[in-house]
């Protein structure tokens, strides 16, 4: 049942990273918010468990017929379903986060319904239009009324695209408080894992899992690192390992089919090196103070690289050689521990909630300044 309050702020989400990053904002808004889940990734492994784990209510609305569809079907169906929901419920503000199909659909549906759009984590750009996420960012960037940029780098990108300064707020990233919160929670870690001194890896992006050549290269290079490897295998990756008959390359690894967000972060905290193509982990490593190797051709989060936490490795680069270089640096851990996260001080959700409240009460409060 939808909660009705004086201010009605719709939080639109559809994937695991969105739930994790929007949880602090949902808590901050309390009963002023209602949550619409598009169903893009609505299953127990990727989404269903997260709401109680993160201490937030179940979604007020869960759409159907969107998960598991082709990208164009997901976006088209979600726009239609969200437009109908917004027509019925008439929120004062719609919040979207990041760069998923849900974000693109949510921004479009709200804009077409005449409802102000707040884009959380605005201004990320990889400059790689082959990435579906980049197109979603660009579409949402055109439609958003207020852009909540996590960093000044994101702010500069928005300025370069012609977004007025009055419509940009540098808020920090909610991932900082989400990570700190998770590290303080109890977690039952899987038995039989090393206490420390291992590589924690997770790979899921199409550029790394859609061909046998790419996935073989990554798995083989992980095996060359002179540390135990704990591999959290995303459903997409497990399917690719089976499809390409690569199970033999994982025999010496500890394979975890899934973890909760809290379990993953606590595993990461105990690790020596992280290897991941995840955008979120590029941010989380700056709170964990852990080195991260990123097997990707490009990144929309250069702040993590500039700060010294992560390194981008293209297909021509060796994960194992990069890991050896990290292990040969005896001062690395102490140095990273002293570097502040470029993604803020852990108060982003309060800033974003304030923006949503102001916009709900006066849609022109910022653009008229």
The CA distance from 119 to 228, in Å, is 40
Banded model confidence at residue 169, pLDDT cuts 50, 70, 90: very high
* Mean pLDDT (the chain, rounded): 93
For 196, the token pair is 């420390």
Assess contact for 318 and 221: CB atoms under 8 A.
yes
The CA distance from 87 to 110, in Å, is 9
9-174+346-361 CATH: 3.40.50.2000
Residue among 233, 148, 179, 150 at smallest CA distance from 54: 179
Could you tell me the strand order of the sheet in which 168-170 lies?
A: 61-62, 33-37, 9-13, 93-97, 117-122, 146-149, 168-170
pLDDT of residue 44: 59
The CA distance from 247 to 106, in Å, is 39
Banded model confidence at residue 367, pLDDT cuts 50, 70, 90: low
The CA distance from 198 to 177, in Å, is 25
The CA distance from 76 to 66, in Å, is 9
pLDDT of residue 48: 61
The CA distance from 224 to 322, in Å, is 11
Neighbours of 46 (CB within 10 A): 18
Active site residue 204: yes
The CA distance from 310 to 302, in Å, is 9
Quick one: CATH architecture of 199-337? 3-Layer(aba) Sandwich (3.40)
Do the domains spanning 9-174+346-361 and 199-337 agree at the CATH topology level?
A: yes
Q: From the candidates 204, 234, 261, 358, which is the catalytic residue?
A: 204
The pLDDT tens digits of the residues spanning 191-226 come to 889 889 999 999 999 999 999 999 999 999 999 999
Q: Is 220 helix (H, G, I), strand (E, B) or coil?
A: helix
> Domain map of the chain by residue range?
9-174+346-361, 199-337
What average pLDDT does this structure show over 288-300?
A: 97
The CA distance from 238 to 250, in Å, is 11
Residue among 270, 285, 59, 298 at smallest CA distance from 175: 285
If you ran DSSP here, which 8-state letter would residue 13 be given? E
């Amino acid at each position: 049942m939808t909660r009705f309050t004086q201010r009605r702020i719709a939080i639109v989400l559809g994937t695991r990273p969105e739930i994790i990053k929007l949880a602090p904002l949902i808590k901050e808004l309390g009963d002023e918010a209602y949550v619409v889940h598009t169903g893009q990734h609505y299953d127990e492994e990727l989404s269903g468990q997260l709401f109680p784990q993160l201490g937030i209510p179940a979604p007020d609305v869960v759409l159907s017929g969107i998960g598991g569809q082709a990208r164009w079907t997901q976006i088209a169906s979600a726009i239609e379903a969200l437009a109908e929901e917004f027509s019925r419920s008439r929120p004062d503000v719609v919040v979207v986060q990041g760069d998923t199909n849900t974000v693109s659909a949510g921004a479009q549906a709200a804009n077409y319904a005449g409802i102000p759009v707040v884009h959380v984590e605005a201004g990320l750009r990889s400059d790689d239009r082959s990435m579906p996420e980049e197109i979603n960012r660009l579409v949402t960037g055109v439609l958003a009324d207020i852009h909540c940029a996590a960093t000044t780098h994101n702010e500069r990108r928005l300025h370069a695209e012609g977004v007025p300064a009055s419509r940009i707020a540098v808020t920090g990233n909610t991932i900082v408080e989400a990570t700190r919160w998770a590290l303080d929670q109890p977690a039952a870690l899987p038995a039989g894992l090393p206490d420390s001194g291992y590589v924690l890896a997770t790979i899921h992006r199409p550029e790394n899992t859609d061909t046998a050549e790419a996935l073989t290269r990554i798995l083989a290079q992980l095996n060359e690192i002179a540390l135990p490897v704990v591999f959290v295998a995303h459903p997409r990756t497990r399917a690719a390992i089976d499809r390409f008959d690569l199970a033999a390359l994982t025999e010496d690894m500890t394979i975890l089919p899934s973890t909760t967000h809290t379990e993953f972060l606590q595993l990461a905290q105990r690790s020596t090196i992280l290897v991941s193509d995840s955008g979120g982990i590029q941010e989380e490593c700056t709170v964990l103070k852990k080195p991260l190797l990123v097997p990707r051709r490009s990144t929309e989060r250069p702040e993590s690289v500039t700060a010294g936490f992560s390194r981008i490795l293209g297909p021509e680069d060796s994960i194992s050689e990069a890991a050896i270089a990290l292990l040969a640096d005896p001062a690395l851990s102490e140095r990273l521990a002293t570097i502040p996260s470029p993604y803020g001080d852990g108060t982003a959700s309060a800033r974003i909630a304030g923006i949503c409240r102001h916009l709900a009460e006066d849609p022109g409060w910022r653009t008229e300044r």
